[in-house]
């Protein structure tokens, strides 16, 4: 199948290519690429690392999905970063202060997260749909605003409380936790991973089987053709960015509901930008993003393992950068090649057909 | 180099009977395809030689070979009596062959002179000498603008002349023109032809690629026809009719666009009244008090020079442009404020004038393209879901019924030739029992074979009671297919004509606002 080839060949080549370049970089710096490779592979065998990779991948999957929804329509939601952080902060505050029974509390926290993410994305969405403001600019600026807003929300005189050197939101009681899968000494797999899998499936279904998904892809491919086909471009921009924000709003929750139970000054940052890289890597495809998220999480953990044996961890940053760069280039090359190949194939089959019907006296053969 | 190898103002020195370009036995195979097979083409120095052929007949491949973009597998290229082997366009340019592409390759934000000099700094430098040469050649190609002017301020016709100037500046004496008239309005086509004739007198040679047969006959000294990758013959334009040429191209007898008997009913399908639309900048009106009625079984043709409001009229009826005044009713229902989707659901089919921009999703398979515009209706939609199996089945029906030449419905739309893409669009827009079809230039850029097929489909749909609003720049098509014709000029319908009596010349006159002939009725105010 051509499709499968297109989808798999490009990223596989890109990963191999980046690995080779990294091997060269390691050789130059005087380290053994083989040692590095062995360390990277054996670390997965340790239970804790495998669980960590899976948990990180779940979070990466959410941010990448959020970015991918925008990408489908050629909308560049750089604001995933601000959306997920603000959503996690507000969800933590609600979860820690509003008294609610078990299960309901968890569900409310998740809904609040999605809602806050969507609302934060609504600002660039409205600006883009009604005023034509580039979402790239507005979302970047809103990331900075979100940082300020979070700092305000977790101040001890608003919703936060001082805890040692840290400032934290009120802890979410047991009734609001999302139970995980305990694997003894290896750690705990986030229960939210089920929600992530459901979202991935939903995304796949939405994109391929629903009218909305078709309209989303059509708008992304050709806004003019979509408009002529009766797709309301403004409505699509609004919905796509709101959905993107809602999914982004969930990205902080696996850690919040499965490990930290509070939003603090030291809650993780930067996932939003990782999401952009993974969405590119996975080509906005639900399965591709999953593979990309796992690969990224694996490389992240490898950095720690390499540090232990004295190989500079920066090599992984180089590798991540190289992979994204080469994947984007490889996709484009393969896409062009496939299109040309298809055009030739179509022409060949038609010619064969025409010759079978009416053999040409000029002897055009194929 | 032979006698013609000087580099003065004109190529000069040409003697009768000398061949500027000779292609012999050119064969080019792509994996599984023979794009060109045993092509023989001889272009006399100082003539306009037309190369005609259907889309996909192999014209582009041949030109790429001649311009050094692809090497031939077999055969020889001889330029000015010397056999050559081009490894790149640079080799072709050195041999005096230049190419003007259909899509201009100009930098908008540079000036006319800068565009000419870009990449050709070596020939005359970038100073006064270069400037003088540009001025001199500008006279030759009839480009009457200041060389310091930005290209973005140039019109299409001037841009084309600039492209010709560019290749002349690089020393071309043989110029390949790829569909040069596709972007021009009739007046500009005449101007271009005048320029080509003058330059021909100066000794330049032109290889003119086109499938507009009337134009080819108007300008060419010799015509070579290419079909299915090989040359089928050479014709003298003075001795051959457009019809005969077209038959050489498709290899079969051609039907004419004439509709035989009237199927017009008195049931009004589309009623547009007092429609006005202001330009995007809010200034003048691009549509003013347009009123028209299309009945079931009627084809209403809109004639007009392009840019007189046809696009705006169509897009307003489709609901793609907002801010219009006036009412539009479809089958008695007011749809003036309905969305594009609602209008489509109410039974409007739309063949857009630019299928790649407005009609197709190029990188989606054919069956996904079938969905576009029908995403909310059976058989494609089931509630909010898309029935992919039904979409595929119905695409297969279109492929069979409309003779879309494709190996299957899974290929991307971009892989089809223009004519087959258009047949797919027409097939899709006639799906789902529309009551009104808006067809904008339905056979533009389409080869003769596909054109015939599309005309036949329009005729059959009309016989079934479809109302058709036809916009076309091809007056023969307009007169042949329409039951009545309205002329649009500067956003107003200025005259009506009966296609059974009106001549293309009379229509042409009305389109430019020069007055009305005996077969034209002034639109009452």
- Residue A40: inside a domain: no
Q: Residue B525: what pLDDT?
A: 41
Backbone angles phi, psi at A161, to 5 degrees: -145, 145
The reply to whether A120 and A20 lie within a common domain is: no
The verdict on A346 touching B (C-beta cutoff 8 Å) is yes
Q: Which residues of B touch A347 (CB under 8 A)?
A: 30, 33, 35, 56
Which chain B residues in 106-135 lie under 8 Å from chain A, judged by CB atoms?
none
Residues 6+ apart with CB under 8 A from B233: B224, B225, B248
Residue B27's DSSP bridge partners are B74
pLDDT at position B518: 59
Distance CA B507, CA B475 (A): 8
Q: Place A213 in a pLDDT band, splitting at 50, 70 and 90.
A: very high
Q: Is residue A49 part of a domain?
A: no
Distance CA B200, CA B216 (A): 15
CB nearest B344 (choices: A212, A217, A230) = A230
Give residue A336's pLDDT: 82
Q: What is the 3-state secondary structure (H, E, C) of B194-222?
A: HHHHHHHHCCCEEEEEECCHHHHHHHCCE
* Residue contact A214–B360, C-beta within 8 A: no
Rounded to the nearest integer, the mean pLDDT of chain A is: 87
Asked if residue A323 is part of any domain, the answer here is yes
* A100 shares a domain with A25: no
**Region B254-279 average pLDDT:** 78
Handedness of CA A92, A97, A101, A107 (dihedral sign): negative
Alpha-carbon distances of B37 from A308, A342, B34, B43, B99, rounded to whole Å: 66, 21, 6, 18, 22
Partnered with residue B210 across adjacent β-strands are B52
Q: Give me the numbers of helices (H) and strands (E) for chain A, helices first please.
A: 14, 4
Q: Are residues A84 and A140 in the same domain?
A: yes
A215 with A275, same domain: the answer is yes
pLDDT for residue B255 is more than 60: no
Give the residue from A2, A210, A222, A229 with the most B CB atoms within 10 Å of its CB, the best one to mutate. Answer: A229
Do A218 and A182 share a structural domain?
yes
CA distance A74 to chain B (A): 14
Domain boundary among A310, A333, A360: A310
Q: Are strands B19-30 and B33-44 parallel, antiparallel or unpaired?
A: antiparallel
Relative to beta strand A161-163, strand A166-168 is antiparallel
* CB of A342 less than 8 A from some CB of B: yes
> Where do we find the tokens 């090649």?
A337
CB atoms within 10 A of CB B501: 12
Task: Write the pLDDT tens digit of every residue in B27-75.
Answer: 887 644 457 888 899 999 989 999 987 666 778 788 888 998 888 888 8
Q: Could you say which DSSP state residue B473 is in?
A: S
Q: What percent of chain B has pLDDT over 90?
A: 19
Q: Note the pLDDT tens digit of each residue in B374-424.
A: 888 888 888 889 899 999 999 999 998 888 888 788 888 888 877 788 889
> Alpha carbon of B516 to those of A256, B482, B519: distances in Å?
79, 19, 8
pLDDT at B445 over 70: no
Name the helix (H) or strand (E) containing B438. strand B436-440
Query: Contacts of residue B416 in chain A, CB cutoff 8 Å?
Result: 346
Task: List the single range of A14-23, B268-277, B508-517 with lowest mean pLDDT.
Answer: B508-517
| Domains in chain B: ranges and CATH | 101-172 (no CATH), 268-522 (3.40.50.300)
Query: Distances from the Cα of B304 to the Cαs of A154, B472, B513, in angstroms?
Result: 67, 8, 10
Same domain assignment for residues A157 and A295: yes
Q: Summarize the confidence of residues A139-159 as an average pLDDT.
A: 92
Q: Which pLDDT tens digit goes with each residue over A2-13?
A: 556 666 777 788
pLDDT digits over B73-98, tens only? 888 999 988 889 888 888 998 889 99
| Total H helices, total E strands in chain B | 17, 23
Token pair 């079809």 is found at B437
> Which of A228, A348, A363 shows the shortest C-beta gap to B33?
A348
Touching A: B residues 149-208, CB under 8 Å? none
Q: How many residues does chain A have?
A: 366
Is A18 in the same domain as A154? no
Q: Distance (Å, rounded) from C-alpha B434 to C-alpha B461?
A: 9
User: How many structural domains comprise chain A?
Assistant: 2
Q: Is the domain of A144 the same as that of A290? A: yes
Please report, for the domain that includes residue A184, its CATH number: 1.10.3470
Q: Compare all CA atoms of chain B with the CA of A360 and give the residue at the minimum distance.
A: B228
Are A175 and A279 members of one domain?
yes
Clarify whether residues A286 and A261 are in a common domain.
yes
Residue B259 zone, left/alpha/beta (φ > 0; ψ -120 to 50; rest): beta
CA dihedral B421, B426, B430, B435 (to 10 degrees): 150
> Please, which residues 334-363 of chain B have a Cβ atom closer than 8 Å to chain A?
339-345, 350, 352, 357-363
pLDDT band at residue B514 using 50, 70 and 90 as cut-offs: low
What residue numbers bound the domain in which A147 lies? 59-310
Asked, for residue A114, whether it belongs to a domain, the answer is yes
Which residue shows structure tokens 């609600």?
Answer: A94
Residue with tokens 């130059």: A28
Asked whether the predicted pLDDT for residue A136 surpasses 90, the reply is: yes
SS (H, E, C) chain A: CHHHHHHHHHHHHHHHHHHHHHHHHHHHCCCCHHHHHHHHHHHHHCHHHHHHHHHHHHHHHHHHHHHHHHHHCCCCCCCHHHHHHHHHHHHHHHHHHCCCCCCHHHHHHHHHHHHHHHHHHHHHHHHHHHHCCCHHHHHHHHHHHHHHHHHHHCCCCCCCEEECCEEECCCCCHHHCCCCEECHHHCEECCHHHHHHHHHHHHHHHHHHEHHHHHHHHHHHCHHHHHHCCCCHHHHHHHHHHHHHHHHHHCCHHHHHHHHCCCECCCCCCHHHHHHHHHHHCCCCHHHHHHHHHHHHHHHHHHHHHHHCCCCCHHHHHHHHHHHHHHHHHHHHHHHHHHHHHHHHHHHHHHHHHHHHCCCCCCCCC
Identify whether A51 is part of a domain: no
Residue A223 near chain B (CB below 8 Å):
no
Whether the pLDDT of residue A311 is over 60: the answer is yes
- By percentage, how much of chain B surpasses pLDDT 70? 89
- What's chain B's average pLDDT? 83
Contact B412 A339 (CB under 8 A): yes
Q: Which strand (E) or helix (H) includes residue A287?
A: helix A286-308
A231 and A201 in one domain? yes
User: According to the model, what pLDDT value does residue A4 have?
Assistant: 60
Question: What SS3 state is found at B45?
Answer: coil
Residue A244 domain-assigned? Answer: yes
Report the DSSP pairing between strands B82-84 and B74-79: antiparallel
Listed residues A281, A310, A339: the one ending a domain: A310
The answer to whether A162 faces chain B, any CB pair under 8 Å, is no
Tokens of B106: 């100009």
What is the CB neighbour count within 10 angstroms for residue B184?
A: 18
Res. A1: pLDDT tops 50: no
- Say yes or no: A209 contacts chain B, CB-CB below 8 A: yes
Spatial distance between the Cα atoms of A288 and B24, rounded to a whole number of angstroms: 51
Give φ, ψ of B470 to 5 degrees.
-110, 125
Residue A74 touches chain B, beta carbons under 8 Å:
no
Chain A residues in contact with B384 (beta carbon < 8 A) = 210-212
Question: For residues A13 and A17, what is the distance between their CA atoms, to the nearest angstrom?
Answer: 6
Cα first-last separation, chain A: 23
**Residue at A359 is within a domain:** no
Q: What is the per-residue pLDDT for B2?
A: 37
Q: What is the pLDDT of residues A242-294, one digit of tens each?
A: 999 999 999 999 998 988 888 888 888 889 999 999 999 888 899 999 999 99
> For B320, which of A228, A343, A364 is closest by C-beta distance?
A228
Instruction: Work out how many CB contacts closer than 8 A connect A with B.
Output: 131
* Domain-embedded: residue A48: no
Nearest by Cα to B195 from B137, B242, B146: B137
H/E segment holding residue B178: strand B174-178
Shortest Cα distance from A244 to chain B (angstroms)? 20
Does the structure's ipTM exceed the value 0.90?
A: no
Q: Does A294 lie in the same domain as A280? A: yes
| Best residue of A204, A347, A359, A362 to probe chain B, by most B CBs closer than 10 Å | A347
Rounded to the nearest 10 degrees, the angle between the axes of helix B186-201 and helix B156-169 is 20
- Chain A CB contacts of B37 below 8 Å: 362-365
Which tokens in the block code for residue A291?
Answer: 């593979």
């Amino acid at each position: 199948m051509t499709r499968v080839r297109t989808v798999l060949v490009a990223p596989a080549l890109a990963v191999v290519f980046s690995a080779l370049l990294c091997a060269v970089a390691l050789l130059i710096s005087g380290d053994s690429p083989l040692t590095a490779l062995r360390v990277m592979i054996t670390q997965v065998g340790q239970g804790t690392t495998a669980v960590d990779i899976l948990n990180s991948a779940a979070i990466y999957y959410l941010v990448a999905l959020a970015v991918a929804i925008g990408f489908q329509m050629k909308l560049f939601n750089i604001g995933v970063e601000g959306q997920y952080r603000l959503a996690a902060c507000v969800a933590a505050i609600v979860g820690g202060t509003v008294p609610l029974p078990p299960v309901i509390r968890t569900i409310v926290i998740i809904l609040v997260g999605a809602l806050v993410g969507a609302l934060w994305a609504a600002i660039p969405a409205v600006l883009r749909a009604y005023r034509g403001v580039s979402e790239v600019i507005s979302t970047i600026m809103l990331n900075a605003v979100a940082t300020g807003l979070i700092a305000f929300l977790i101040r001890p005189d608003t919703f936060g409380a001082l805890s040692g050197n840290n400032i934290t939101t009120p802890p979410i009681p047991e009734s609001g936790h999302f139970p995980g899968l305990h694997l003894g000494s290896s750690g705990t797999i986030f229960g939210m991973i089920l929600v992530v899998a459901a979202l991935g499936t939903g995304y796949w279904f939405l994109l391929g089987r629903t009218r909305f998904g078709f309209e989303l892809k059509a708008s992304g491919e050709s806004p003019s053709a979509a408009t002529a086909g009766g797709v309301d471009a403004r409505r699509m921009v609004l919905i796509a960015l709101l959905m993107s924000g809602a999914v982004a709003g969930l990205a902080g929750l696996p850690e919040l509901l499965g490990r930290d139970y509070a939003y603090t000054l030291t809650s993780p940052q930067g996932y939003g930008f990782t999401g952009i890289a993974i969405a590119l890597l996975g080509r906005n495809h639900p399965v591709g993003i999953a593979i990309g998220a796992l690969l990224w999480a694996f490389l992240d953990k490898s950095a720690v393992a390499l540090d232990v044996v004295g190989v500079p961890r920066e090599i992984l940053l180089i590798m991540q950068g190289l992979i994204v760069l080469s994947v984007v280039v490889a996709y484009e090359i393969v896409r062009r090649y496939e299109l040309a190949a298809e055009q030739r194939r179509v022409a060949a089959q038609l010619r064969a057909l025409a010759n079978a019907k009416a053999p040409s006296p000029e002897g055009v053969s194929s | 180099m032979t006698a013609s190898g000087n580099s003065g103002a004109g190529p000069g020195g040409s003697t009768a009977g000398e061949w500027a370009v000779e292609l012999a036995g050119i064969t080019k195979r792509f994996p599984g395809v023979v794009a060109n097979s045993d092509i023989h083409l001889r272009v006399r120095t100082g003539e306009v030689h037309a190369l005609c052929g259907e889309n996909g007949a192999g014209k582009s491949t041949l030109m790429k070979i001649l311009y050094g973009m692809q090497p031939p597998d077999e055969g020889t290229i001889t330029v000015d009596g010397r056999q050559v082997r081009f490894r790149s366009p640079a080799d072709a340019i050195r041999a005096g062959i230049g190419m003007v592409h259909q899509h201009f390759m100009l930098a908008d934000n540079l000036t006319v002179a800068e565009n000419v000099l870009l990449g050709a700094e070596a020939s005359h430098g970038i100073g006064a000498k270069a400037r003088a040469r540009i001025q001199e050649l500008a006279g030759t190609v009839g480009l009457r603008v200041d060389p310091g002017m930005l290209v973005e301020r140039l019109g299409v016709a001037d841009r084309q002349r600039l492209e010709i100037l560019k290749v002349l500046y690089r020393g071309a004496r043989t110029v390949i023109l790829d569909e040069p008239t596709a972007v021009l309005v009739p007046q500009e086509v005449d101007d271009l032809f005048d320029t080509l004739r003058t330059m021909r007198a100066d000794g330049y040679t032109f290889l003119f690629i086109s499938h507009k047969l009337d134009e080819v006959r108007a300008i060419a000294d010799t015509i070579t026809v290419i079909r299915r990758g090989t040359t089928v013959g050479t014709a003298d334009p003075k001795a051959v009719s457009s019809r005969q040429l077209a038959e050489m191209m498709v290899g079969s007898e051609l039907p004419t666009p004439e509709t035989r008997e009237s199927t017009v009913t008195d049931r009004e399908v589309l009623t547009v009244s007092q429609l006005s639309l202001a330009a995007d900048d809010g200034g003048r009106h691009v549509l003013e008090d347009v009123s028209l009625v299309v009945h079931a079984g009627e084809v209403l043709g809109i004639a007009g020079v392009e840019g007189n409001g046809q696009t705006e009229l169509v897009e307003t009826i489709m609901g793609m442009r907002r801010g219009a005044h006036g009412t539009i009713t479809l089958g008695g229902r007011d749809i003036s404020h309905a969305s594009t989707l609602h209008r489509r659901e109410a039974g409007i089919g739309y063949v857009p004038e630019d299928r790649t921009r407005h009609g197709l999703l190029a990188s989606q398979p054919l069956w996904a393209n079938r969905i576009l515009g029908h995403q909310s209706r059976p058989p494609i939609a089931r509630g909010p879901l898309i029935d992919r199996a039904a979409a595929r089945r119905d695409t297969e029906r279109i492929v069979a019924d409309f003779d879309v030449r494709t190996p299957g419905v899974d290929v991307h739309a971009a892989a089809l030739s223009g004519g087959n893409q258009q047949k797919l669009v027409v097939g899709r827009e006639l799906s789902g029992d529309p009551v009104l079809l808006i067809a904008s230039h339905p056979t533009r850029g389409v080869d003769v074979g596909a054109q015939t097929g599309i005309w036949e489909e329009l005729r059959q749909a009309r016989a079934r009671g479809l109302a058709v609003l036809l916009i076309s720049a091809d007056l023969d098509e307009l007169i042949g297919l329409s039951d009545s014709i309205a002329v649009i000029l500067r956003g107003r319908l200025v005259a009506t004509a009966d296609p059974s009596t009106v001549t293309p010349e009379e229509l042409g006159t009305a389109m430019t606002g020069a007055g009305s002939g005996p077969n034209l009725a002034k639109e009452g105010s």
